[in-house]
Structure 1
């Protein structure tokens, strides 16, 4: 499973999450401690917001620990809102278009999780996309497709409701096509103003998510794994929760897919 970190608050250098901490994202890329696999070497990416509405982005297929450019960029770029991700592929080839974060318009998105039996539901999922959204699909991952589907379900107007409807649609489609549904979804996304995160799984085995204050004022960090051993700082976000971080600080609400159905016990994804 992938590892990721995100921040929203007073501007920080990317290195304060990506490279500097004892258990930084680069450290997690080859020594994750709270994931099924300790190595996340199938590419990496960072997206950050500055003076323009759309985010900057840098991605590559190299393992994060092997790219000297990433360390240099993280040391120089300072941003009030950024997302960073290291990938352990569960589907889709190791290519730049499949590396997170994904970007469309002013939105950025990264994901840790999977859709069970994705290849059996991929085509009907793609048919839900209008021409513009379909043309924006560059890779082959379930993560990018979830992101684009959220636009179809109203991401620009109501982000959390859009993802609730997106996940609910995927559950119903999977159940219809395969007789069961497995969706594991721990994701972060932003429009450049507010940072959002969701932790949810149909089988209550959602990938981990932690939060901690960082920087001055109302800054917060969201991570797959704590960046250090200060256990009193990091709070685990419960399964079935959505988090938003804006000008007023951090808030969270319960997350439930739209029009959810009673599902049979989910089977493991291949």
Structure 2
């Protein structure tokens, strides 16, 4: 379907992860060993929080760059990721599963200070799309600009309280998808991994109705990595609180990435705070 990564930690150039690792996100866009599709060339997106944005009157509103070009082809992506410095960013490469290749269908999606991205699909979404659209907050309904199931899922979570309690809201949105799908004889409607952030905390979810979700991993902490690999100079790029959540590992270093279990939420907070917890027992 797609591949994505979410970074939180000390400021860096996104190119350090999007371009420069052995299995960078751009490399995965062309060759994704763990993906449902090997090639993810139907567009990409980068969402980031500019340094100092919280103090310049923008209330932490993220910047967004999306394109329908393949990530490996777009020179602007290389230029931007090498020029930007940020403490938190999302990056996504897309493999279209039905909705057309257009900029408004590229992830991440943005609402106010929030970013959202998804890898997977709502099975046979066309059968219950109308039902979910009618449940959206009337003020959010006209803000949907694309045609993907992912954008509807994001706005459904917003409707159900994302800004107050992200874990509960994403859970309620997924349960509503499952109810709507099963009402239309779709037995396993939800598939995928989801990431959402308010610019301070990242919440990432691995869940599917079938219990066989798309792959998801998180990095171990940098101090532990340095103990394992004291001579690996590339680790000097990252500060002590740096963490990533990724669709698949960015390096072959043993122990650097840990698979996120099924039906689990990963939370990365400010200052390197990290935890994971169960998320939605399989339905």
Q: Fold-level match, TM-score > 0.5?
A: yes
Question: Cα offset for 1:90?
Answer: 1.1
Q: What is aligned with 2:215?
A: 208
Say if 1:87 and 1:99, in contact at 8 Å, map to a contact too.
Answer: yes
Q: Measure, in 2, the Cα distance between the counterparts of 1:191 and 1:211.
A: 19
Say if 1:2 and 1:86, in contact at 8 Å, map to a contact too.
Answer: yes
Question: Cα offset for 1:179?
Answer: 5.0
Q: Measure, in 1, the Cα distance between the counterparts of 2:98 and 2:113.
A: 26
Q: Measure, in 1, the Cα distance between the counterparts of 2:135 and 2:73.
A: 38
TM-score (norm 2): 0.89
Matched, 1:153 2:155: no
Matched, 1:251 2:258: no
Say if 1:219 and 1:249, in contact at 8 Å, map to a contact too.
Answer: no
User: Secondary structure, in 3 states, of the residue corresponding to 1:10?
Assistant: strand
Q: Measure, in 2, the Cα distance between the counterparts of 1:188 and 1:168.
A: 17
Matched, 1:62 2:85: no
Q: Measure, in 2, the Cα distance between the counterparts of 1:72 and 1:238.
A: 35
Map residues 1-270 of structure 1 onto 2, 5 A cutoff.
1-50=1-50, 51=53, 52=58, 53-178=60-185, 180-212=187-219, 213=221, 215-247=238-270, 248-256=272-280
Measured against aligned partners, the alpha-carbon deviations of 1:69-120 in whole angstroms (never above 9, x if no partner) come to: 1001000111100000000011310000000000011100110011111000
Structure 1 unaligned regions, length at least 5: 263-270
Which ranges of 4 or more aligned residues in structure 1 deviate by more than 3 Å?
none
TM-score (norm 1): 0.93
Q: Measure, in 2, the Cα distance between the counterparts of 1:179 and 1:47.
A: 33
Q: What is aligned with 1:268?
A: none
Coordinate RMSD, CA, aligned: 1.2
Say if 1:91 and 1:142, in contact at 8 Å, map to a contact too.
Answer: no
Question: Cα offset for 1:16?
Answer: 1.0
